[in-house]
Structures are given as structure tokens and as C-alpha cells.
């Protein structure tokens, strides 16, 4: 016992000696040493120790009293640790305060309640050194006071770090935003600039946390500036530090917000610049909007509309629409809005009328590959929440446009290759004004498109490029069968919808030209090849190149083990090795799905085999939270329970943050690799990234084939 007490005595002396000397040196220094500031940054790291341990100690103390089995030694040691860590935390907190930028009164209260907590913890520890300390009349009251002091110090710390409303921010319902549905009604500072500053700047520049002695909460604070000069000078961007600091390289120490914090977007910086250049007015509404389309477009993000509550569709209604040939998926997972596309060729009015069961939920409708006619389209006019519509059929005329006049929420209208006229488009725009309209391949004249776009301040895309000469392009050839994996031989049939078309192909990876081999009958493959096909016809533009990669499987997988089973909704690991590739629809029955987890499988080839390539195929469907894996890693071993050696790794690139579903094959070339066991790991993202509409939720990983060739 004496030896233990001696250890604690030495520790207390050491902490006070080391930190006391550092503090004394700091007080006498004319300039705060960087080492001191460095040590101060560890205050928020260390402070959680005495907080947690003191609370746990109180819990154990109460439990011991109730159970009549009081753990004397445990309580003493926990209090000793609490006291030591609390003292160290107080010193580090003092060092951190030397950086400045904190509201003095709150800082002092936090500092002294922290010291009080450390002192009370030390007194409790000293009392615990005496016999039967738990029966001491002072012990338990002092414990309660220490916890209260700890709570106050913690709250004041959160105020210094996150602002006065940190604890109570979500205690009450948020104030309902005032409806602002017209750009001219916005107040540039209050409704736009102020919101930007509140989100990106105020967390570090407020009444209790003034980095650089700068607060950005009020007009007075903004005009006053900080230790480095004025934050804003109306009409002078160069003199406005709030602006110039934004433009510094992010690695620069003076760049704001600092690296690691959420940065302002290009549009937010543009709006801040506009506000300063136009005088940094704090009261007036926006002006000159009509003549400044760039300003108008950026301000629209700050409009507040009466929210339309769309009920979720019944699963039976969605299935009804799917069963007649539509692809349906939620634009944002677990939300009501739906994207619907007809995947057939020639629908009927009866098929289109089926959409009535989803008339409230459809916000995106796509008939880009279907031959729709005017007689089929009355139902479209009933889809009042529709935002995007694609009608790319020559049978669509002005009659259909008349049926769209009530779609006030329509934002994008694609009328490529339709039979609409100048008058029909003019009549439509006199009722509704979508943001973008595409009229390539129609009778809409260039002059009419320009005039209507200017009159209604919208975008009408009427030509591909200036001076573009219309010339029909051949459709891409069709290749049958669709499968690209085979064991022995594969026969391919290549066709075109038009007559007298030359279908030329290559098997060496080069693009076909007019001198390449012509398809005559079926093409037989007996080894892995890259097939490229292109259609040619006199007076026609040649088609795009169709590329297909075919792989002859060299090792059929019959024995494997999965580290973790797939999601129960997309089960059966055998799908990975059945040589049956899935479509772009994730629930077609061919895909294996993992929610938030990695796919890891160990393959047993039965004996040591020589392998040249290992490939997997994955799906990406951003709207359904399905992302390509982050990495593809392969390990090998010649013993089932032996150590696996990492063989190779490949990253998987993405094409963007949106778009149609797509699949991708990722290959690892491992020529002349000999092994019996191959461990394949496909790394899931885990959680959806910040850019995703459902950021923070778990991401899906979908794989349908892993094969050797």
C-alpha cells in the first residue's frame, strides 16, 4: 500500500513539476512558443479521459454501496487516474487558450470550473487513501459537487467550441422558413450571403469563439473585422479579407475556411463577390436580376417553396407498371419520387394509361427509345409532379404539346426527332417554361429557337454545333447472344436493322474501318478475344463502334468459401461462378448483393494451377445506392490454412456522380501465376459519400461473375 501511495505521490509531483515549469516559461516569454501551442491542441484529446473515468467511478461507487460489496481499491485507483488526467487537461487547456479567439468571460468560467473539477477529483483521491473513506460524510457530497462542476465545465467547453446553442439547437422544432418563391423577393444578405456565412464561417467566428478576434454574426461584426483588418469593404473585393482569404491556396495557413473544414462552393463565392461588388448592402432586396441570368440561376437555390408532400407509391402499383414494360426506380432511396422508363419499342395507349397508378410519384419519364404517338400521350398531362420528360419519336406532334400545358413543374423537355412545329412550341411556352428544351431533328427553326429562348430566359438546344450538317447515322449493330463468357466455343450472329449495310469487324482490338473484314455468317470464337464491329453504308454516317470482350474460361470454379454471406435479398454465392451475366437491372436474379460489407471469397482450384487473368464484373447504379467497389485485391496460397500472399491489386474508377446504370469488368493480369488457392477481396465503400443524395447510409456492392481466363 505504501509503495502504491508513493507511486501516486511521484506522479503528482512529476505532472506539477513538468507542466508547472512549462507554464512558468510561457508566462515569462514575450512570444508564445509554437511547442506550447502544439501541446494545447491535445486538450480536446485528453479531456475525455477524466470525464469518462469520473462518471464510471461514480457508477461503480453507487453499485458497490447498493450491493454492499464496496470496491475500495478500484475506486481509489480510478480517482487517482481521474485526478492526474484532470490536472494535465487543465494545463493543456491553458496552453490552448493562449491561441486566443475565444470569448473571455465564457473562457474564464470554463477554465475555473475545469480547475475546480480537477481539485475536487484530487480531494476525493486524497480522501480515498484513508481507511473506510466511503463512510466519510464529506466523500459522497464532494462526489456530487465534482460531477456538477464537470457538467458545467463540459457545457461551457461546448459553447466555446460550437457556440452557445450547441446543446439546445435541436431541443425545439426549427423555425419555419418564410416562403420565397420569386427571386426578386430575396434579400441578398439575409436570405443568401448570411446563410452561406452561417454554414461555412460562423462556427469558428462567433460570439464565444472569435478566431483572429473576428465574429461574423452581425452587421457590426462584419464591418468591424478582426486583428488582420476589415472583413468587407463595400465595392472593393481586394480590401475585403473575407473574400481574399477564400481565394488563397487551400494549403496556405491563411486560407479560409481552413483545410479540413467544409469549403465554399464556386457559386457561393460568386454570390459573395457579387454582394461585395454591389456595395455589401445589408437590407435591400436583390436588384438587376432580369438582366443578369447568372445571378438569377444562382439565387434560385435559395428560394423557399411550399413543400409538396408526395405519398409513396404502393409496391403493387409499381409492380403493375413494371409488368407492362417499364423500368421503375426511386430517384432518392426510400423517397417517393420515381424515375420511369419504357424499355420496349412500340407501346400502346393501354400500356401508357397504366402510368395513372403512379401519377403523383413520377417525376422523370423517359420514352427516348420508344415509338410513342399523340394518341398515347393524354396520360402524360396528368403527371402534375413531372420534372423531366423525354419524347423522341417522329409520331409526336403539336397535339401532344397541347396536352403538356398543365405541367407547371416541368424543368427538362427533350423533343429530339419529333414532328413539332414553331407554332406548337410557342403555344406551349406561353403556358409553361421548362428550364431546358431539346429540339434537335425537328422543324423548329434556328431563329424561332433563339427568339423563344431570349423571350422566356430558358435554354433551347436546337443544333448540335454551329453549321452542323444533318446526316443520318447508322444505328449500332446487334450482337447475339449477349453472353461474353464461354468454356469451349462461342458462335456470334451480327445483324443490322437496315438492308445493304456492310458490317465490318476486328478481333485484334483495333477499330474497324472500310478495309476491315466483312461479317459473313456467324463468327466462331475458340479463345478470348476483343470484338469490335462497325456498320458502313453509302451516303450514311458510319455507326459507332460496338466493343465486346469475350473470355474463354480456363478454370471452372466448383469449390469456394465466402467469409460473409451476401444480403438475404440477393443470395446464392454460386452466382459468382455460373458464367451467367446479369443485366443493368440489379434485381434481375443474377447479381450478388452486399450492403455495407466487403465481398471476400477463397477459391480452391483443386490443385496447383497456372493462371493468367482474373476478372470480376460489378454493377453501378448511383440512384439505387450501388457503387463500384473501391478496390480489387487478390491473394494466393498453396495451402488451405497457410499464409496468403498478396498477389495484385486494382482500383476501380467511377465515371461520375450520376447517370444511367452501367456494369464494368475489372481485370488483373497475373501471367504465369501458379497456385491452388486464390482469395479475392472486393472492398465496399461502406457508406455513401458526401455527394450522394443519401450520404451516410450504407452503400451496396453488386457482383455477378468472378472468373479465370
Q: Are residues 329 and 285 in the same domain?
A: no
Q: How confident is the model at residue 170 (pLDDT cuts 50, 70, 90)?
A: low
Q: Are residues 578 and 498 in the same domain?
A: no
Tell me whether residue 326 is in a domain. Answer: yes
Calculate mean pLDDT across residues 454-471. 66
Tell me whether residue 387 is in a domain. Answer: yes
Tell me whether residue 269 is in a domain. Answer: yes
Q: Which residue has the higher pLDDT, 184 or 648?
A: 648
Q: Are residues 7 and 148 in the same domain?
A: yes
In the predicted structure, residue 464 carries a pLDDT above the cut 60? no
Query: What confidence score (pLDDT) does residue 209 get?
Result: 63
Q: Is 195 exposed, middle or buried (0-12, 13-18, 19+ CB in 10 A)?
A: middle
Q: Read off the pLDDT of residues 305-340 as tens digits, 9 standing for 90 and up.
A: 666 688 999 999 999 999 898 999 888 778 899 999
Q: Read off the pLDDT of residues 553-582 as tens digits, 9 standing for 90 and up.
A: 999 999 999 999 999 999 999 999 999 998
Q: Read off the pLDDT of residues 411-426 as tens digits, 9 standing for 90 and up.
A: 999 998 899 999 999 9
- What's the CA gap between 607 and 604, in Å, rounded? 8
Range of the domain at 12: 2-162
Q: Read off the pLDDT of residues 590-642 as tens digits, 9 standing for 90 and up.
A: 999 999 999 999 999 999 999 999 999 999 998 889 999 999 999 999 998 88
Tell me whether residue 176 is in a domain. Answer: no
In the predicted structure, residue 288 carries a pLDDT above the cut 50? yes
Place of cell 456595395: 279
Tell me whether residue 388 is in a domain. Answer: yes
Q: Which residue has the higher pLDDT, 473 or 545?
A: 545
Q: Are residues 548 and 564 in the same domain?
A: no
Domain tally for the chain? 5
- What's the CA gap between 355 and 340, in Å, rounded? 9
- What's the CA gap between 208 and 204, in Å, rounded? 9
Tell me whether residue 167 is in a domain. Answer: no
Per DSSP, what are the bridge partners of residue 707?
615
Per DSSP, what are the bridge partners of residue 609?
675
- The CATH number assigned to the domain holding 509 equals 2.60.40
Tell me whether residue 170 is in a domain. Answer: no
In the predicted structure, residue 675 carries a pLDDT above the cut 90? yes
- What's the CA gap between 395 and 377, in Å, rounded? 11
Calculate mean pLDDT across residues 160-189. 68
Nearby residues of 653 by Cβ (< 8 Å), 6 or more positions away: 628
Of 492, 517, 552, at which residue does a domain stop?
552
Q: Are residues 154 and 6 in the same domain?
A: yes
Share of the chain above pLDDT 70, in %: 92
Q: Are residues 342 and 420 in the same domain?
A: yes
Query: What confidence score (pLDDT) does residue 469 get?
Result: 42
Q: Read off the pLDDT of residues 26-53 as tens digits, 9 standing for 90 and up.
A: 888 877 888 888 888 888 888 888 999 9
Max CA distance (Å), the chain: 105
C-alpha cell of residue 246: 477564400
Q: Read off the pLDDT of residues 70-104 as tens digits, 9 standing for 90 and up.
A: 999 999 999 999 999 999 999 988 888 887 766 67
Provide the 10 A C-beta neighbour count for residue 435.
14
Calculate mean pLDDT across residues 584-588. 87
Q: How confident is the model at residue 366 (pLDDT cuts 50, 70, 90)?
A: very high
Report in angstroms the alpha-carbon separations of 325 from 322, 340, 516.
5, 10, 38
Q: Are residues 291 and 323 in the same domain?
A: no
Of 302, 332, 356, at which residue does a domain stop?
302
Q: Read off the pLDDT of residues 678-696 as tens digits, 9 standing for 90 and up.
A: 999 999 999 998 888 788 8
- The CATH number assigned to the domain holding 340 equals 3.80.10.10
- The CATH number assigned to the domain holding 697 equals 2.60.120.1190
Query: What confidence score (pLDDT) does residue 157 get?
Result: 82
Q: Which residue has the higher pLDDT, 4 or 703?
A: 703
Which pairs with CB-CB distance under 8 Å and at least 24 residues apart come from 566-575? 566/592, 566/593, 566/594, 566/599, 567/593, 567/594, 567/595, 569/593, 570/702, 573/601, 575/704, 575/705
In the predicted structure, residue 654 carries a pLDDT above the cut 80? no
Place of cell 452587421: 219
Q: Are residues 80 and 122 in the same domain?
A: yes
Query: What confidence score (pLDDT) does residue 206 get?
Result: 67
In the predicted structure, residue 499 carries a pLDDT above the cut 80? no
Scored b (16 or more CB within 10 A) or e, 123-136 reads: bbbebbeeeebbee
Calculate mean pLDDT across residues 178-182. 69
Q: Which residue has the higher pLDDT, 87 or 303?
A: 87
- Name the strand (E) or helix (H) holding 294: helix 293-299
Tell me whether residue 264 is in a domain. Answer: yes
Report for 47-61, 214-228, 461-475: range of highest mean pLDDT: 47-61
Query: What confidence score (pLDDT) does residue 509 get?
Result: 86
Q: Are residues 565 and 663 in the same domain?
A: yes
What is the rounded average pLDDT for all residues in the chain? 86
Q: Are residues 96 and 30 in the same domain?
A: yes
Of 552, 575, 590, at which residue does a domain stop?
552
Q: Are residues 511 and 647 in the same domain?
A: no
Query: What confidence score (pLDDT) does residue 657 get?
Result: 67
Give the β-pairing of 592-595 and 478-480. Answer: unpaired
In the predicted structure, residue 519 carries a pLDDT above the cut 50? yes
Query: What confidence score (pLDDT) does residue 224 get?
Result: 78
Q: Are residues 146 and 10 in the same domain?
A: yes
Amino acid at each position: 500500500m505504501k509503495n502504491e501511495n508513493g507511486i501516486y505521490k511521484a506522479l503528482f509531483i512529476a505532472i506539477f513539476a513538468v507542466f508547472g515549469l512549462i507554464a512558468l516559461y510561457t508566462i515569462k516569454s514575450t512570444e508564445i512558443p509554437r511547442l506550447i501551442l502544439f501541446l494545447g491542441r491535445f486538450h480536446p484529446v485528453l479531456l475525455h479521459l477524466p470525464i469518462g473515468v469520473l462518471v464510471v467511478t461514480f457508477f461503480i461507487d453507487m453499485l458497490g454501496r447498493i450491493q454492499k460489496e464496496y470496491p475500495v481499491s478500484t475506486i481509489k485507483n480510478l480517482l487517482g487516474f481521474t485526478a492526474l488526467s484532470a490536472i494535465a487537461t487543465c494545463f493543456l487547456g491553458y496552453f490552448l487558450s493562449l491561441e486566443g479567439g475565444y470569448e473571455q468571460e465564457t473562457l474564464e468560467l470554463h477554465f475555473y470550473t475545469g480547475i475546480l473539477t480537477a481539485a475536487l477529483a484530487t480531494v476525493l483521491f486524497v480522501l480515498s487513501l484513508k481507511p473506510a473513506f466511503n463512510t466519510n460524510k464529506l466523500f459522497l457530497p464532494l462526489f456530487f459537487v465534482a460531477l456538477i462542476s464537470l457538467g458545467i465545465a463540459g457545457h461551457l467547453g461546448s459553447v466555446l467550441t460550437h457556440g452557445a446553442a450547441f446543446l439546445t439547437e435541436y431541443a425545439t422544432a426549427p423555425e419555419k422558413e418564410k416562403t420565397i418563391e420569386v427571386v426578386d423577393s430575396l434579400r441578398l444578405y439575409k436570405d443568401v450571403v448570411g446563410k452561406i456565412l452561417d454554414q461555412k464561417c460562423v462556427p469558428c467566428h462567433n460570439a464565444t469563439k472569435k478566431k483572429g478576434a473576428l465574429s461574423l454574426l452581425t452587421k457590426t461584426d462584419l464591418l468591424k473585422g478582426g486583428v488582420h483588418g476589415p472583413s468587407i469593404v463595400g465595392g472593393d473585393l481586394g480590401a475585403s479579407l473575407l473574400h481574399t482569404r477564400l481565394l488563397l491556396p487551400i494549403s496556405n495557413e491563411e486560407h479560409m475556411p481552413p483545410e479540413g473544414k467544409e469549403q465554399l462552393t464556386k457559386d457561393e463565392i460568386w454570390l459573395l463577390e457579387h454582394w461585395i461588388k454591389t456595395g455589401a448592402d445589408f437590407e435591400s432586396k436583390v436588384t438587376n436580376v432580369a438582366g443578369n441570368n447568372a445571378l438569377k440561376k444562382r439565387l434560385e437555390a435559395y428560394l423557399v417553396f411550399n413543400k409538396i408532400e408526395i405519398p409513396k407509391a404502393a409496391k403493387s402499383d409499381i409492380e403493375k407498371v413494371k409488368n407492362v414494360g417499364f423500368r421503375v426506380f426511386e430517384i432518392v432511396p426510400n423517397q417517393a419520387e420515381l424515375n420511369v422508363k419504357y424499355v420496349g419499342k412500340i407501346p400502346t395507349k393501354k400500356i401508357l394509361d397504366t402510368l395513372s397508378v403512379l401519377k403523383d410519384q413520377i417525376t422523370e419519364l423517359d420514352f427516348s427509345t420508344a415509338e410513342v404517338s399523340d394518341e398515347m400521350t393524354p396520360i402524360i398531362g396528368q403527371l402534375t409532379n413531372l420534372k423531366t420528360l423525354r419524347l423522341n419519336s417522329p409520331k409526336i406532334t403539336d397535339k401532344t404539346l397541347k396536352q403538356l400545358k398543365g405541367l407547371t413543374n416541368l424543368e427538362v423537355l427533350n423533343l429530339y426527332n419529333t414532328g413539332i412545329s414553331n407554332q406548337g412550341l410557342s403555344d406551349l411556352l406561353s403556358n409553361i417554361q421548362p428550364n431546358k428544351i431539346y429540339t434537335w431533328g425537328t422543324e423548329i427553326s434556328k431563329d424561332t429557337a433563339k427568339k423563344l429562348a431570349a423571350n422566356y430566359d430558358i435554354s433551347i438546344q436546337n443544333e448540335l454545333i454551329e453549321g452542323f450538317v444533318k446526316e443520318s447515322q447508322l444505328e449500332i449493330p446487334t450482337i447475339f447472344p449477349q453472353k461474353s463468357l464461354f468454356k469451349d466455343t462461342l458462335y456470334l450472329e451480327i445483324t443490322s436493322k437496315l438492308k445493304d449495310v456492310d458490317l465490318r469487324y476486328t478481333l485484334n482490338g483495333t477499330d474497324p474501318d472500310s478495309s476491315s473484314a466483312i461479317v459473313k455468317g456467324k463468327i466462331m470464337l475458340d479463345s478470348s478475344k476483343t470484338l469490335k464491329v462497325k456498320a458502313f453504308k453509302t451516303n450514311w454516317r458510319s455507326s459507332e463502334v460496338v466493343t465486346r470482350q469475350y473470355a474463354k474460361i480456363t478454370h471452372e470454379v466448383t469449390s469456394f468459401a465466402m467469409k460473409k454471406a451476401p444480403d438475404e435479398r440477393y443470395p446464392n454465392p454460386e452466382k459468382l461462378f455460373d458464367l451467367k451475366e446479369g443485366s443493368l437491372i440489379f434485381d434481375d436474379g443474377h447479381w450478388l448483393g452486399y450492403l455495407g460489407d466487403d465481398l471476400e471469397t477463397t477459391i480452391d482450384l483443386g490443385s496447383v494451377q497456372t493462371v493468367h487473368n482474373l476478372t470480376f464484373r460489378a454493377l453501378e447504379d448511383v440512384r439505387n445506392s450501388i457503387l463500384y467497389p473501391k478496390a480489387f485485391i487478390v491473394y494466393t496460397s498453396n495451402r488451405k490454412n497457410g499464409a496468403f500472399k498478396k498477389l495484385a491489386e486494382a482500383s476501380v474508377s467511377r465515371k461520375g456522380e450520376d447517370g444511367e446504370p452501367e456494369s464494368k469488368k475489372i481485370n488483373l493480369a497475373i501471367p504465369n501465376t501458379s497456385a491452388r488457392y486464390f482469395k479475392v477481396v472486393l472492398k465496399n465503400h461502406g457508406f455513401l459519400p458526401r455527394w450522394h443524395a443519401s450520404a451516410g447510409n450504407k452503400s451496396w456492392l453488386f457482383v455477378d461473375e468472378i472468373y479465370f481466363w
